[in-house]
Amino acid sequence: MVSFLALLPRALTTFLYAVAALLRFYANTDTIPIQLCPLTILQWSFLAFTLGTTALLANLGLEWHAGNRSRHREIEKRDRADQERERAARHARIQNRFFLLQTRHQLAPSPDTRAALTDFLSFLQEYGE
């Protein structure tokens, strides 16, 4: 239904301009009034042209609004992706800092570290081959 409403101003504009052209260029504008209304064919043509221009302006407003809405959606997606990228980079920096601190702590000369490395070396020698 919404897609039909988006096409309505374009179709209406085309129809009204066609009617205006038909009335203006293919009718005798001086002598043939329409019996239901005191307007001449030329006045009917001008009315159809005015209504067509109004429909064209309405269509322009709808297209402008749709373009702004899609542009705002793209900007929002880009901002969200930038925030996610920054969050991932911050997480990676924290993780790298933790890894460095953990490695420094494990390599600090202490009896516990020495014993753990000795056990690990003996494990590698026993099961490494």
Q: How does pLDDT run across 54-65, given as a tens digit for each residue?
A: 888 888 888 888
Cβ–Cβ contacts within 10 Å for residue 9, how many?
A: 19
**Other C-beta atoms lying within 10 Å of the C-beta of residue 76:** 10
DSSP state of 40: B
> In the prediction, which pLDDT does 28 show?
62
CB proximity list for 40: less than 8 A, separation 6 or greater: 29, 30, 32, 33, 34
Structure tokens at 3: 């897609």
Whether the pTM exceeds 0.75: the reply is no
Q: Which residues contact 42 (CB under 8 A, 6 or more apart)?
A: 23, 24, 29
Assign 33 to helix, strand or coil: strand
In what helix (H) or strand (E) does residue 109 lie, and over which residues does it extend?
A: none
pLDDT of 6 reads: 61
What residues of the chain score a pLDDT lower than 50?
A: 1
d(CA 63, CA 66): 5
